[in-house]
Chain A
Amino acid sequence: MTFIMSTFSLKNQISSTKMKNLIPLFPFDIQNDRSRFQSTIVRNQKGYYDLVEKKFISTQLMKALIDELKPDDSFQIKSDSVIIDKIKKRINQNLSFMQKNARDSYSVKLLKYLSNRFLSSQSEQNITTAILFVDIVKSTNLATTLTPDEMSSLVRVFSLELSILISKHSGFVLKYAGDAVIAYFPIINNVEETCQNAIRCAKSMNLLIKHAMNPAFEKFGLPEIKIRVGVEVGKNQIVFFGSDPDLIGSTITMAAKIYPVTNPSQIAIGEEIFKKLRESQQIQLLQEYSDTKKLPYTNSSTGKEYVVYLTKDGFS
């Protein structure tokens, strides 16, 4: 449905105090970004006109969207949780819809905007972040066995759900590269917490695939998928390609190198992220992790071969 839009100033419509209660702080305080969101009323509903997407979203729906995406310290995917049921329902809905009309959902576009907005707002060019790489194992086989519509639906659902998960763990999607998603986790309070968020997110991803995504895929005749995830931490440089910000540097490069050494469903923890954890956390992690691998790269901080910690096979 479309409606004729009428615009009003923000002051006239919604008091800023009220909005603060509704929407968490930066980067989710989108009502302050007048370059993108214009406060308006459409069909007697208050909301925002997204100048880039040329869409109206009601205040109520925007609040629900932000609630769904905003970071949550206690967020964790569990096998039999209400969250799994909710995600399954959403995946089913998207799979049935996408085969007819494969376009990104508004939430994916908003997440990309939030990431760009965060990077663009940084005063320093070099920032420390945890980097997470994830992709689908043997995606080439999938691409050759599925129809383009099926493959497109599968990748879109995969990207959407992982993006939401990344956001819930205080991260941002940096970019999508085919069936791979690259995310970064900025330091909000301290680096240790950031590293924990990235590792927790990697675990949640495996649980999401196993308990929500694969059962939904089965229902739609799509094959089961497995993922490989790698996480590392360190400094990265913000660069702009055109108007879109990006990250480059040794950390993002190493994160890209460590995840291919994993087996399906394994998580690879980089040497630097391991070192940033407290001792007790390291011990706990080593109990979960079965293996270490040395990569043919020199760790600039130790001068030795790069060490990667791998979870047990089939971790879930």
Chain B
Amino acid sequence: MSSENVEFPIIKKFLDIGNRTLLIKGDAGTGKKTLSLDLAKNVVKDYNIYFITGNKKAEMLYSWYPWIESFVPSENILEVSSNELMSNDSNFLLAELVNRISNTVAIVNDPFVSDEEPKKPFIIMDIWDSLTMELTPQMRINAEKIVTSLVDKHNGFVVFLSDKKETSSLEQLVDGVIQTSKLYVENFMMREILIKKLMGIEIRISKIPFSFRNGKLTAFSRFSYFNLQHKKFEPISDSENRFSTGNQSFDDKIGGGFKKGSIIGIEIDSDVDRYAFVPFLLPIVLNFLNHNNSALLSLSSDQNAEAYLQHISPHVDEQKLLENFRLYCHTFGDTTSEIILDRSNEQNFELAHKNWLNYYEQLKAKQKCVLMQVDYSFIELGYRGNIDQILKAMIENTRNIRHNKDLMIMTSRPGFQTLGVMKSACDIHFRIFDHEGCTFVSTDKPKLFYSNIQTDSSLGYPKLKFTDVY
């Protein structure tokens, strides 16, 4: 699940084991301040948070980050104006800041109850670059020592924020270094936290993609699996022109569902967890079947039809399944049924396609809307010598679907010839790709959204949970 904020257990551990200093570096606008405040939010139980800033009034910070008001009181936002910076020696200013923080007092609220453990200072140095801009290397080292001695004295913690490229002396001094960055993976903008150094901590995952909106960070985590709870599926009504995806938030992202008679193309990168497609497809299938429509799914040769059926059967009446659901797949011969249709003996694509069309016509004969799903990259792998026929069949299928106002979900992968036809033929082109172990989905045609995806199994079946990337 994607978290509400960057709850870095390793950063908490980094503080707990006695580290005192952290440098967060990165270009302007990459989320340094937000990350530092997010870290502070997680340690307010033990620390008093101070934000030392240049020319940023408390009101301004509160308007940017309204969520910090509860744990960064205005008196803890210490402003050093540009006039002060220009007219004073940096070390003098630092000494002044040290005094102001040292002179804070705890207040007795109830003299008869156990005293609260005195909180330690957690200082976010947002002005470090301006403060040390004109210092010689030796003077800068002195300034760094003043701050570190302050945190040592009070058992506190300091976070230096810097957008300078050259921070090597500070990187050597501090206990931890984190870099925030904004980069482009192919055409997709990605924000990333790079953990470069955390003293005493084993870093297993050094890059964490995240999103950044309204002054808050949302870290993306690796794709999670689910435990089925077998709750009843609550179908979402189709509109006159659209089939619902069975997932309200998915419907909202694509304007209310898939248009009837449309072709949905899904391009899946080869490094994406294959499981990521299940929460995408399953609610669509369940919604079709629960509206007494039909679904004809083509499984790849390595997929277990029985296991697939187990995802579906708890959420659909048995009678509806028998009548309306067909899995066209490779079996071991002993698992075939009215639902599971064996294609193991089909030696060429022509026969396979003929049978496929036959099953489709059987379902259409019941006057039902049909959801057709085919992974063409696996078809292409299975019938390498028949690529022309496969491409032709793709077009034939799309024509049938459009004519009959059904829905077709086709998938393919980069490097396959079917991908090009799919991209041309489909009405919506989804792209599912992986970055640093996290999974993302975007719509390339038309441009509708770009989100991190996770599994949400709170309703008893897996569906997609979207977190938009900003």
Query: Which residues from chain A sit less than 8 Å from chain B, CB to CB?
Result: 1-5, 42, 49-50, 54-58, 61, 65, 68, 90, 93-94, 97-98, 101-107, 110, 156, 160, 164
10 pairs, CB–CB < 8 Å, chain A vs chain B:
A3-B105, A55-B106, A58-B108, A61-B108, A65-B111, A90-B112, A93-B113, A101-B117, A103-B115, A103-B116
A22 to chain B, nearest CB (A): 15
Q: How far is the CA of A68 from the CA of B110 in the complex (A)?
A: 12
User: Of all chain A residues, which has the CB nearest B103?
Assistant: A5
Q: Does B435 contact A (CB under 8 A)?
A: no
User: Of all chain B residues, which has the CB nearest A153?
Assistant: B114
User: Of all chain B residues, which has the CB nearest A104?
Assistant: B115
Q: How far is the CA of A68 from the CA of B106 in the complex (A)?
A: 22
Q: How far is the CA of A58 from the CA of B106 in the complex (A)?
A: 12
Q: Does B100 contact A (CB under 8 A)?
A: yes
Q: How far is the CA of A156 from the CA of B115 in the complex (A)?
A: 12
Q: Does B186 contact A (CB under 8 A)?
A: no
Extra contacts besides A2-B119, A105-B111, A164-B112 (19): CB < 8 Å: A2-B48, A2-B104, A2-B106, A3-B104, A3-B105, A4-B75, A4-B104, A50-B108, A56-B105, A57-B111, A58-B108, A93-B112, A93-B113, A94-B114, A101-B117, A102-B114, A103-B114, A106-B115, A110-B111
Q: Which residues of A contact B104 (CB under 8 A)?
A: 2-5
Chain B 45-86, CB-CB to A under 8 Å as 1, else 0, gives 000100000000000000000000000010110000000000
The residue that A107 contacts in the complex, of B48, B107, B112, B117, with Cβ under 8 A, is B112
Total number of residue pairs linking A and B with CB closer than 8 Å: 81
B114:A2 contact, CB within 8 angstroms: no
Q: How far is the CA of A2 from the CA of B103 in the complex (A)?
A: 10
A104 to chain B, nearest CB (A): 6
Q: Which residues of A contact B119 (CB under 8 A)?
A: 2
Q: Which residues of B contact A68 (CB under 8 A)?
A: 112
B114:A1 contact, CB within 8 angstroms: no
A160:B111 contact, CB within 8 angstroms: no
B111:A49 contact, CB within 8 angstroms: no
Please provide the chain B residues from 87 to 113 with a CB less than 8 Å away from any CB of chain A in the complex. 100, 103-108, 110-113
Q: Which residues of A contact B73 (CB under 8 A)?
A: 1
Contact of A56 with B115 at beta-carbon distance under 8 Å, contacts A1-B73, A2-B48, A3-B75 already known: no
Q: Which residues of B contact A57 (CB under 8 A)?
A: 107-108, 111
The residue that B105 contacts in the complex, of A49, A65, A103, A160, with Cβ under 8 A, is A49
Q: How far is the CA of A177 from the CA of B114 in the complex (A)?
A: 19
A94:B113 contact, CB within 8 angstroms: yes
Please provide the chain B residues from 102 to 160 with a CB less than 8 Å away from any CB of chain A in the complex. 103-108, 110-119
A2:B115 contact, CB within 8 angstroms: no
| Residue of B110, B111, B112, B118 most packed against chain A (CB within 10 A) | B112
User: Of all chain A residues, which has the CB nearest B119?
Assistant: A2
User: Of all chain B residues, which has the CB nearest A45?
Assistant: B107
Q: Which residues of B contact A4 (CB under 8 A)?
A: 75, 100, 103-104
User: Of all chain B residues, which has the CB nearest A65?
Assistant: B111
Chain B interface main SS type: loop
B100:A106 contact, CB within 8 angstroms: no
Contact of A54 with B105 at beta-carbon distance under 8 Å, contacts A1-B73, A3-B75 already known: yes
A160:B112 contact, CB within 8 angstroms: yes
Q: How far is the CA of A94 from the CA of B113 in the complex (A)?
A: 5
Q: Which residues of B contact A104 (CB under 8 A)?
A: 114-115
Q: How far is the CA of A273 from the CA of B112 in the complex (A)?
A: 32
B244 to chain A, nearest CB (A): 49
Q: Which residues of B contact A103 (CB under 8 A)?
A: 114-117
The residue that B111 contacts in the complex, of A101, A102, A106, A156, with Cβ under 8 A, is A106
B44 to chain A, nearest CB (A): 12
Q: How far is the CA of A5 from the CA of B100 in the complex (A)?
A: 9
Q: Which residues of A contact B108 (CB under 8 A)?
A: 50, 55-58, 61, 106
A101:B114 contact, CB within 8 angstroms: yes
Q: Which 10 A-B pairs have the closest CB atoms?
A: A106-B111, A57-B108, A2-B104, A103-B115, A107-B111, A65-B111, A56-B105, A5-B105, A98-B114, A106-B108
Q: How far is the CA of A215 from the CA of B48 in the complex (A)?
A: 37
Q: Which residues of A contact B75 (CB under 8 A)?
A: 3-4
A205 to chain B, nearest CB (A): 18
Q: Which residues of B contact A93 (CB under 8 A)?
A: 112-113
A156:B105 contact, CB within 8 angstroms: no
Q: How far is the CA of A110 from the CA of B100 in the complex (A)?
A: 27
| Residue of A98, A106, A160 most packed against chain B (CB within 10 A) | A106
A101:B116 contact, CB within 8 angstroms: yes
Q: How far is the CA of A54 from the CA of B76 in the complex (A)?
A: 18
User: Of all chain B residues, which has the CB nearest A66?
Assistant: B111
User: Of all chain A residues, which has the CB nearest B111?
Assistant: A106
Q: How far is the CA of A68 from the CA of B117 in the complex (A)?
A: 24
B40 to chain A, nearest CB (A): 15
A56:B106 contact, CB within 8 angstroms: yes
Q: How far is the CA of A56 from the CA of B117 in the complex (A)?
A: 15
Q: Which residues of B contact A2 (CB under 8 A)?
A: 48, 76, 104-107, 119
User: Of all chain A residues, which has the CB nearest B76?
Assistant: A2
Q: How far is the CA of A42 from the CA of B106 in the complex (A)?
A: 10
Q: Which residues of A contact B117 (CB under 8 A)?
A: 101, 103
Q: Which residues of B contact A61 (CB under 8 A)?
A: 108, 111
Q: Which residues of B contact A164 (CB under 8 A)?
A: 112
B428 to chain A, nearest CB (A): 54
B33 to chain A, nearest CB (A): 22
| Residue of A1, A4, A104 most packed against chain B (CB within 10 A) | A1
A105:B114 contact, CB within 8 angstroms: yes
A179 to chain B, nearest CB (A): 18
